[in-house]
């Protein structure tokens, strides 16, 4: 996917997250994009690493910065919390010029926004880390929860087990939307 196509997908995802009640901060966009790419196999091509608060993409951060510079998005301060992503003054132009990919992946975008929109940042961290661990090594719910706790000691075993169970449920629900490799 080319940069403007990726930007149109990310913008559409951000808009859909917001419509589902999401704070739509950078963490929300990062984790939702990760789930969309890694669970549903939407080929956005971002490289993710396990970072402070779960999977994170510096590529995606760079794209968000470029999108802000091009006025496709803007970050709106929400004191005392961090900023929220909103469509910028050139957003409509981007979506008009690059409508194909958001349309092609609309079912996946809608699913992720609907399912993750209500999540809080801490819950997104747990769920996305559960997905990361599941891709790293499959295994029982207990083993995956233990691995999450090893990587993120601030996440208790019980919280990690809940995240793995939530991921397994999300995976089952998303099965008809998962794209072939």
State yes or no: pLDDT of 164 exceeds 90. Answer: yes
The structure tokens listed for 63 are 């794209």
Segments making up each domain of the chain, as ranges: 3-177
Alpha-carbon distance 96 to 16, whole Å?
Answer: 17
Q: What is the mean pLDDT of residues 136-161?
A: 94
Residues 152/122, Cβ–Cβ less than 8 Å? no
pLDDT band at 91 (very low <50, low <70, confident <90, very high): very high
Which segments within 14-170 are labelled E, that is strand? 49-51, 54-56, 73-78, 81-87
pLDDT band at 79 (very low <50, low <70, confident <90, very high): confident
Q: What is the model's pLDDT at position 117? A: 96
pLDDT band at 138 (very low <50, low <70, confident <90, very high): confident
Q: What is the model's pLDDT at position 139? A: 86
Residues 12-62: tens digit of each pLDDT = 999 999 999 998 999 999 999 999 999 999 999 999 999 999 999 999 999
């Amino acid at each position: 996917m080319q940069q403007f196509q990726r930007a149109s997908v990310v913008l559409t995802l951000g808009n859909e997250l917001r419509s589902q009640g999401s704070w739509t901060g950078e963490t929300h966009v990062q984790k939702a994009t990760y789930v969309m790419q890694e669970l549903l196999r939407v080929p956005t091509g971002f490289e993710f690493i396990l970072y402070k608060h779960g999977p994170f993409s510096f590529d995606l951060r760079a794209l968000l910065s470029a999108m802000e510079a091009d006025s496709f998005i803007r970050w709106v301060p929400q004191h005392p919390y961090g900023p929220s992503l909103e469509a910028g003054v050139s957003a409509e132009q981007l979506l008009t010029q690059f409508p194909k990919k958001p349309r092609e992946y609309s079912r996946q975008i809608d699913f992720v926004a609907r399912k993750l929109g209500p999540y809080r940042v801490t819950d997104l961290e747990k769920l996305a880390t559960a997905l990361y661990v599941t891709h790293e090594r499959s295994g029982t719910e207990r083993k995956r929860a233990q691995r999450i706790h090893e990587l993120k000691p601030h996440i208790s075993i019980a919280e990690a087990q809940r995240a793995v169970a939530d991921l397994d449920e999300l995976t089952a629900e998303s099965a008809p939307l998962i794209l072939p490799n």
